Structure formats: structure tokens, C-alpha cells
Amino acid sequence: MTVQQIKQRFGIIGNSPGLNRAIDIAVQVAPTDLTVLISGESGTGKEIFPQIIHQLSSRKHNSYIAVNCGAIPEGTIDSELFGHEKGSFTGAVKSRKGYFEEADGGTIFLDEVGELPLSTQVRLLRVLETGEYIKVGSSQVMKTNVRVIAATNVNLQQAIHNGKFREDLYYRLNTVPIIVPPLRERKEDIYLIFRKFARDFSEKYRMPPVKLEEDAVYLLENYMWRGNVRQLKNVTEQISVIEEKRTVNAETLRKYLPDEGRHNLPAIYENSVNKEDFANEREILYKILFDMRNEINELKTIISQVSKNTGTSVAVSSDIFEKPNQNIGNSNFIKNTDNFINPVSEKNKFEKDKSMIEDTEEIIEESLSLKDKEIELIKKALEKHKGKRKYAAEELGISERTLYRKLKEYNLTT
């Protein structure tokens, strides 16, 4: 069966090289029993490829079961996949077959396989290597002849680095990799897919199909589709239902494209975010402490120079360095430091400026509070980048989410 025939049979639209390559690999691997790992961003249509592989294999007359691993609670996923015996846990009123038993002789598709708990990953690895598994609450080893196809939209290698996914399971699943390209890498297919969806919705809602003007087509093809085909389908449906005019220009289309121009980033394994945020907050606190120490040392140097140049000792209250909440230095003091650094030979000149030295403790107003320093740095970063939180967060070395939380915590506005 050719790639074009596969597209017609399974309703796949597009002619991009990346899509054709993914379909070609699926067709070639279908007659075998090799494990396949399908990778791609959310909304790219990864669920079509396990169906292609199953329907073109010798298992097509047996069961095909699709399991969303991310939708099953961690406490029950072993029971769902491998079954359980009566009384094995609270609520187990009778024995139950798992998906691997139900799909014996067929194909099981594990979607979002990166969400599997580590304990379940061990069980899955044993099934892949030996075809054996044990029901929850049982001691009897069972055999199954199931072909496993897995899919993920997260970076499994990053998950391995973070200790959230087993490396041996990754290589066992990744026997044959299939990469589904994102929609932004299939620009020549975007308008074709739009027209297909427009025809489908015109039949569904019994109205003429929506058409795009030339400028709207250009906008459609150059938009960064973060939700991929799923987002394009939603946008097409919205336009088909809401717009009275059946011909849409770029200005109208733009209303349905949120955050235009932003880049679509690959999925990040979320469990590492909190650790990174904590490390970034710790670094900014260290930076604040070092800056305060440098400012104190500069003040000490200035006062020492004044004392040396005038031949008069100047006493500085120890409260400046011992009390963390004591105010130290303000803009007026810093502005007048040039008068202190320059040597003054005339006694009258010194007497005139003496009050400035003696009143140093009262003039100093800068806070050593970590909270105040953090607020000051956040304000400076926001002011520097004209209120743009993304760039302010990068300047501060923290995530945009942490910056948003700090703004809310300190009741700051941008």
C-alpha cells in the first residue's frame, strides 16, 4: 500500500516530507512486532500512527486498545494495565482483567507514556522483555503476546536526567522511533487542512464553507501553531460558526489567533520547574547579599579617606553594620561623596563640612531588608524592560512564573 493510499484510508491531509517520512516508517514497521515510540508535540495527530501500524499488521483482526497513561490515577494504573485479584485492595470486590490480558494477540497503544510512575515502568519493562506480568495481589506469572506502541509529547531524555523515567525502558520502547512534525514545519499543508475542516463544518452546520482571502492565507501559513492541528481545527470551527461573511480576510482571521508571533516551544518536563525556581531565588538572594556587602565596604572606604585627608578621626556607629534593618546611605549622601574624597587643607573648609560627616548616621536611609532589596531589583528590571515581564524575569535570573508570583506577593503593578 502506497503512502497516498494510506492517507486516503486514514484521512491524513498533507504532503510535507516530514509527514510522508513518518507514514513511510509506520508502513514498513507494521508487518513486524517491533516496539514503536511516536514522538511529537501535542495536537499533531500521533494517535493515527498506531492505528496505521495495527491495521497493516497480522494482528489487525485482534484487539486494539488505546490507553491514556496520563489520565489514570497513580494508585490504580497497575490494576488497569495488568489486572487484579479479588480482595487485593479496598474496593476489589472481584477479579479483573487488565489491558494487557484483554489485548492478548493484539496491539496496545500507551499514549503519554512519560506519565507512568516508576513502579509501573518496571512492570512494563518486564512485559516488553519477557512477555510476563503479575496481577496486583497475585503471585501467579501470566504471559501475554501484545505489541506495544507508545507515544509521548515530553522530552523523555530530560525526564531520564531528572530521574522520572527509566533509561532502560526508554531504549526498549524506542526500538523504532517515529517523529511526527509540528504544524509550523508543514506550512504547505496548513491551508489544505483548513479547507478540509471548513468543508466538514459546512456539512455539520449546514452552511456554505468558509474561504480565505490571499492575505488571510499568508497569515494562516505563517502563524506559529502552538496547538498544532487541534488548534487549527478549533479556529476553523469558530470562524465557520461565528462569522456571517463566508470570505474571511487577514484582519478578521487575526481575531481568532491569540498571542500572534510568539514561538511554539517544545514541551518541558514540568516536575523540574520547582527546583529550578528555588535555585534561581537562592541565587538572587546571594546577589543581594553580595551587593550589600560591597556597598558597606565602599562606605567604610569613603569614611576612612575623609578621616585620613582631614587628619581627624570620624566615628561611625556600629549600628550601621550590626542592625540589619538600620538605614544605610541615600542618594544625597552618595551624591556628595566627591566632597569627602578630595583632600581639604583649610581648617575652615573642614569645619564647614564637618556637620555632613557627623550627621552621616542620620542621613543614611538605604534598607538592608532582603524583601526591600528584592522589590527594588524587580522594579529596576521592569523599568529597564518597560514593563515586559518575560525580559525582566530573564534579567533577574528567575522564571516568568516566579516573577508573577513576586509581583502579586509584593502588590506591585507593571
Does 177 share its domain with 39?
yes
Residue 261 counted as domain residue: no
Query: Mean pLDDT over residues 154-161, rounded?
Result: 93
Q: Determine the structural domain holding residue 228 and report its residue range.
A: 184-254
In a domain, 387, yes or no: yes
pLDDT cut 70: percent of the chain above it? 79
Pair (205, 111) in one structural domain? no
Structural domain includes residue 326: yes
Q: How many CB atoms lie within 10 A of CB 252?
A: 16
Digit-coded pLDDT (tens) for 344-357: 444 454 454 544 44
Pairwise CA distance, residues 377 & 284, whole Å: 9
Q: Please report, for the domain that includes residue 156, its CATH number.
A: 3.40.50.300
357 found inside a domain: yes
pLDDT of residue 215: 92
The per-residue pLDDT for range 6-59, each reduced to its tens digit, is 999 999 999 999 999 999 999 999 999 999 999 999 999 999 999 999 999 999
- Mean predicted confidence (pLDDT) in 246-270: 69
Q: What is the dihedral angle through the alpha carbons of 243, 246, 251, 255, rounded to the nearest 10 degrees?
A: 30
Cβ-in-10-Å burial (0-12, 13-18, 19+) of 223 comes to buried
Mark whether 146 and 8 lie in a shared domain.
Answer: yes
**Per-residue pLDDT tens for 300-319?**
888 877 777 666 555 544 44
Same domain, 43 and 143: yes
Please count the structural domains in the chain: 4
d(CA 49, CA 325): 64
Do 28 and 121 share a domain, yes or no? Answer: yes
329 found inside a domain: yes
User: Do 124 and 227 sit in the same domain of this protein?
Assistant: no
In a domain, 241, yes or no: yes
Q: For the segment 223-252, what is each residue's pLDDT rounded down to a tens digit?
A: 999 999 999 999 999 999 998 888 999 999
Shared domain check, 297 and 330: yes
Same domain? 176 vs 197: no
